[in-house]
Structure 1
Amino acid sequence: MDDLYPPIHVRAEGMLDVGDGHWIYCQEAGNPDGKPVVVLHGGPGSGISPMARRHFDPEAYRIILFDQRGAGRSTPHIGTPDVDLPANTLWHLVSDMEKLRERLNLEQWQLFGGSWGATLALAYAETHPSRVSEIILRGVFTVRRGELDWIYNGGAANLFPHEWEAFLAPIPEDRRDDPLSAYRELVYHPDRAIRERAAIAWSTWEGAIVCLRPDPAFHNQYASPEFAVTFARLALHYFCHGAWLEEGQLIREAGKLAGIPGVIVQGRYDAVCPPTTAYELHRAWPDSKLELVEAAGHAVTDPGMLAALRDATDSFRRMPYRGIIT
């Protein structure tokens, strides 16, 4: 992976109390006096990945990462039986980001997020545009009904019919007209065996369609019960509520991003988040640049994706910013 910077060690880490009984796990890496960037993981349950630090020049960037509510090392974890779901919404995550920015005494930071991380980046930037220096997005997802239907109600099944059949298998035949609702019941079922089987089937479906070419490493990761349960439970909690967004809100309000430079990196053959969403966002966001990567799907490791993301972070690393509050 020559398009990544060499492994970057964690320089500081800790837990931040964000209220509602939730604590988020946070990391810092790179130059403590560098340009601040916050990395927003996908899922929403994927959690921090060490590779995510490697998109950035560690001499130029102050790299900030955190596990979103319910994921990774944040507490309470989504697997906790009595976890408080009403206190875990998109707008709680936006508030958590503001608490983290204030705790770090930053006036502005760059946003970097892919897939669900792009959703969170857009929601935060449209709420707090003056706090954002630049935005880099990959595989844009805005949780519109049509986007959810593409992934979870038969759209992508046209490309992956065998995998779709396996996805439907845990759902009773009379419930298959609404897979999201049926799966939400299954992954929160009181019987652990039912929960795990459903979560693995849900997660394996996305693992099957995420890469341009089949990749056993992705399949193994997504089929792991430890990963799948967190991934499925948080995703279904969010998607069954439309992420607490009005239909089309993030595209409709993209004009609020005027003046914020951005790069949208999008795989031409992304079967999870098809390019039409990235294109619509680009049209609505006057200061964005759309980079369509021709030989790529949704996965960050697909050909050309890492190079495009590194080009984007490198292009912004020397741009002026208002970093530390004085």
Structure 2
Amino acid sequence: MQTWYPQIKPYARHDLAVDDIHTLYVDESGSPEGLPVVFIHGGPGSGCDAQSRCYFDPNLYHIVTFDQRGCGRSTPRANLENNTTWDLVADLERIREHLGIDKWVLFGGSWGSTLALAYAQTHPERVHGLIVRGIFLARPQDIHWFYQEGASRLFPDYWQDYRAPIPVEERHDMIAAYHKRLTGNDQIAQMHAAKAWSGWEGRMLGLCPSPQHVERFSEPQRALSIARIECHYFTNNSFLEPNQLIRDMHKIAHLPGIIIHGRYDMICPLDNAWELHQAWPNSELQVIREAGHAASEPGITDALVRATGEMARRLLDLPPEEA
């Protein structure tokens, strides 16, 4: 069983202004001459941390991590203005150009897989390959499953806490009800809604409940950025046309891809990964037994670390023992 590489510090940090409102936190670590890879975090609304660099051999990879608009160390935090999928796709291209990278590997999980696919389909000539986990196709049925009805039937006790801030007469459309509170002027109601929204997600991350996940997702500022930005995106169908990511897979069908998905993922059910694999002839699908959605679950971590080694071996033409 593979585990993370040791934590390393970035050798460069950038505050990259991408418009008149947003400035992105970007850092570089690993080998400056290595195979470029960009870590695309989930949410939308989460952010990167020190662990984000640890899926990659720092001797082989030039590792780029960044916090998306409104997330983590990017400013202003939890801001929804000029914050769409296509703004984020453009941001990735700005980062690539700013760092002088010609082509890179995309590594993304959950919402990060959504954004990786959207970017690759827009700029296929800039992508060596993709490693994607916990696939989220952002279709209406995927959002309905987790935020309206589906997961609610399997976890009615957790669901009760999620729906508590919403009056009975508004529960027929939970996304709209949460959006009203998360974008309203009542800061107490906003934070109450944010903690309930993010707590529901935190409780559902792993196959087994993790107090660490719940605590991390309940931290007030993280909860606010996750809840506000996710709800903003999902209110707008993630700024995608119906089934757009599958429809446009022909644009990147030639690119190598490794898809990793937990068998018992309750946030993004396995059909997301299955349909992506069917539309992507050059992909490999790994279904991880005894795993849910979280990248930190041992089986998922093992598969991701092995995948980065395999991708480096393919692209750098290394013998197996060197990757």
Alignment map for 1:149-168 (pairs within 5 Å):
149-168=144-163
Task: Output one character per residue of 1:10-56: Cα deviation in whole Å (capped at 9) or x when no partner.
Answer: 11101112124211110111001000000000011111121110000
Task: Output one character per residue of 1:72-120: Cα deviation in whole Å (capped at 9) or x when no partner.
Answer: 1112221xxxx4x341100000001111111111110000000000010
The question of 1:219 aligning with 2:196 is answered no
Candidates 93, 96, 105, aligned match of 1:101: 96
Unaligned regions of 5+ residues in structure 1, if any?
Answer: 322-326
Corresponding residue of 2:123 = 128
Structure 1 residue identity aligned to 2:107: F
Could you state the TM-score of these two structures normalised by the residue count of structure 1?
0.95
Corresponding residue of 2:53 = 53
CA distance in 1, matches of 2:179, 2:47: 20
- What is the Cα deviation at residue 8 of structure 1? 1.4
Candidates 250, 258, 262, aligned match of 2:257: 262
CA distance in 1, matches of 2:308, 2:118: 21
Alignment map for 1:285-300 (pairs within 5 Å):
285-300=280-295
- What is the Cα deviation at residue 189 of structure 1? 2.0
Query: What is the count of residue pairs matched by the alignment?
Result: 316
CA distance in 1, matches of 2:74, 2:205: 25
- The percentage of counterpart residues that share the same residue type is 47
Check the 8 A contact 2:3/2:298 in 1, yes or no. no
SS at the partner of 1:196? helix
- What is the Cα deviation at residue 267 of structure 1? 0.1
CA distance in 1, matches of 2:232, 2:280: 29
Could you state the TM-score of these two structures normalised by the residue count of structure 2?
0.96
CA distance in 1, matches of 2:173, 2:283: 35
Unaligned regions of 5+ residues in structure 2, if any?
Answer: 317-323
CA distance in 1, matches of 2:99, 2:196: 40
CA distance in 2, matches of 1:222, 1:72: 13
Corresponding residue of 1:31 = 31
CA distance in 1, matches of 2:313, 2:118: 25
> Greater shift after overlay, 186-195 or 263-272?
186-195
Corresponding residue of 1:324 = none
CA distance in 2, matches of 1:145, 1:10: 38
Structure 1 runs of 4+ with >2 Å offset? 318-321
> Greater shift after overlay, 114-123 or 13-22?
13-22
Corresponding residue of 2:320 = none
Corresponding residue of 2:40 = 40
Check the 8 A contact 1:13/1:26 in 2, yes or no. yes
- What is the Cα deviation at residue 188 of structure 1? 1.6
CA distance in 2, matches of 1:210, 1:302: 9
Corresponding residue of 2:235 = 240
CA distance in 2, matches of 1:16, 1:208: 34
Check the 8 A contact 1:295/1:303 in 2, yes or no. no
Give me the CA root mean square deviation. 1.2
Candidates 278, 281, 287, aligned match of 2:276: 281
CA distance in 2, matches of 1:164, 1:211: 16
Structure 1 residue identity aligned to 2:129: E
Check the 8 A contact 2:106/2:130 in 1, yes or no. yes
CA distance in 1, matches of 2:172, 2:190: 20
Task: Output one character per residue of 1:151-203: Cα deviation in whole Å (capped at 9) or x when no partner.
Answer: 00011011110000111110011000000000011112212111110000000
CA distance in 2, matches of 1:20, 1:251: 33
